[in-house]
Amino acid sequence: MTPISSLGEFALIDRLTAALPKQNDTTLVGVGDDCAVVCYGGKPVLLTTDMLLEGIHFDLVYTPLKHLGYKAAVVNFSDIYASGGTPRQLLVSIGLDHRISVESLDELYSGLRLACKNYGVDLIGGDTTSSLTGLSLSLTAIGEAPEGGAILRSGAKDTDLVCVSGNLGAAYLGLQLLEREKKVFNNTNLNDETAAQPDFSGYDYLLERFLKPEARQDIIVTLAQAGLRPTAMIDISDGLSSELLHLCKASHCGCRIYEERLPIDYQTARCAEEFNLNVSTCALNGGEDYELLFTLPLAEHERIAEIADVRIIGHITRPELGALLVTRGEAEEVALKAQGWQACAN
């Protein structure tokens, strides 16, 4: 028998969904993008789903349930924005084990409700069941496609500019801080009143990026207002490198991005140094950034430069040139690797 880990998530999905025949005219886009797209009554509808399992995607030791609810919703909304769309509805399924009280569930739902309120989304249904095996969440978001249809991963063209919103690596370092404090806590004598309290001072932004990420609705609105339609787009959940490779594969192209152009916050840089981590590696592979990665025609260079909180980090190339990172300093070219979050590593 072949272990799942020998294939990895994406090879596995390729295997399982190979040659699925399309049976309905209402199916526009199937497996392989941020969203599936269906079309009833002439209007495309975006669909995306995410499963979040205790011990894999979250640790209840340091994840408040309200934050978990908020984040679970937002990461689904992020997939809708990554197709250029607007999330409108949400389905939420929850598997509850005996540790979860009604009050805890109220907390989880208060986070879900807040996310729905902030992003203008209706919670329209789901499923609630017992679980023998920890807290399980599965969310499906439904969204409206932009004018001109969903923006896919597959539209990038040679010479297009590669752009990224916000900054990268912050959530990953937020997670490292929480994991460190968890270890300290586990080694603490609970009767020792002088024991150290968690010290996160100066790193609030990193914790917030991990525990309460936001989806980049603002970027979608700004791009639309500027009349800029990305040729391809994806959100950064598994790490920039991994997402760039998806985009290049789907678009049949290569890319060259520049290490010195990677957007990194001051707290991220300082915290990486404290952990003795290479900050570029954190930015490339950290994951859970929920920023948008997109491509635009080279001719739009000046207009992109005017958009706040978006940075051009490189450009698209012909496929035979590969997906490359031009390093700082000696300016070597190294191949990008997907070293980020591995959903099927266990």
Residues numbered 80 to 139 that lie near a second copy (CB under 8 A) are 88-89, 91, 93-98, 100-106, 109, 113, 116-117, 120-134, 136, 138
Q: Using alpha carbons, list the distances in angstroms from residue 37 to 120, 143, 246, 249.
A: 20, 9, 18, 20
In whole angstroms, the minimum distance from the beta carbon of 337 to a second copy comes to: 20
- Cα–Cα dist 211/225, whole Å: 30
Which is nearer to a second copy, 13 or 269 (by Cβ)?
Answer: 13
- Contacts to a second copy from residues 48-87, by CB under 8 A: 48-51, 53-57
Which is nearer to a second copy, 1 or 190 (by Cβ)?
Answer: 1
- Contacts to a second copy from residues 238-277, by CB under 8 A: none
Question: Nearest to residue 284, comparing CAs of 337, 345, 206?
Answer: 337
Chain center to CA of 276? 25
In whole angstroms, the minimum distance from the beta carbon of 167 to a second copy comes to: 26
Which is nearer to a second copy, 47 or 316 (by Cβ)?
Answer: 47
- Cα–Cα dist 79/216, whole Å: 10
Which is nearer to a second copy, 54 or 300 (by Cβ)?
Answer: 54
In whole angstroms, the minimum distance from the beta carbon of 140 to a second copy comes to: 5
Q: DSSP states of 304-341 as a string?
A: HHTSTTEEEEEEEE-GGG-EEEE-STT--EEE----S-
In whole angstroms, the minimum distance from the beta carbon of 142 to a second copy comes to: 6
Which is nearer to a second copy, 78 or 165 (by Cβ)?
Answer: 78
Torsion of CA 25, 29, 35, 36, to 10 degrees: 40
- Amino acid occupying residue 187: N
- Contacts to a second copy from residues 135-164, by CB under 8 A: 136, 138, 140, 142, 144
Which is nearer to a second copy, 142 or 223 (by Cβ)?
Answer: 142
The answer to whether the beta carbons of residues 284 and 239 sit under 8 Å apart is yes
Largest distance between two CA atoms of the chain: 67
In whole angstroms, the minimum distance from the beta carbon of 26 to a second copy comes to: 5
Which is nearer to a second copy, 321 or 343 (by Cβ)?
Answer: 343
In whole angstroms, the minimum distance from the beta carbon of 321 to a second copy comes to: 31
At residue 295, the 3 state secondary structure works out as strand
Sheet with 27-29, side-by-side order of all strands: 27-29, 36-40, 43-53, 136-144, 86-96, 122-130
Which is nearer to a second copy, 130 or 278 (by Cβ)?
Answer: 130
In whole angstroms, the minimum distance from the beta carbon of 15 to a second copy comes to: 7
Residue 123: DSSP 8-state: E
At residue 54, the 3 state secondary structure works out as strand
- Contacts to a second copy from residues 24-53, by CB under 8 A: 24, 26-27, 29-32, 35-36, 38-45, 47-51, 53
Residue partners of 15: CB distance under 8 A and separation at least 6: 7
Binding to a second copy by residue 179, rule CB under 8 A?
A: no
In whole angstroms, the minimum distance from the beta carbon of 118 to a second copy comes to: 11
- Contacts to a second copy from residues 210-239, by CB under 8 A: none
Q: How many residues bind a second copy (CB under 8 A)?
A: 87
How many C-beta neighbours within 10 Å does residue 271 have?
Answer: 24
Interface pattern 307-346 for a second copy (x via CB under 8 A): ------------------------------------xxxx
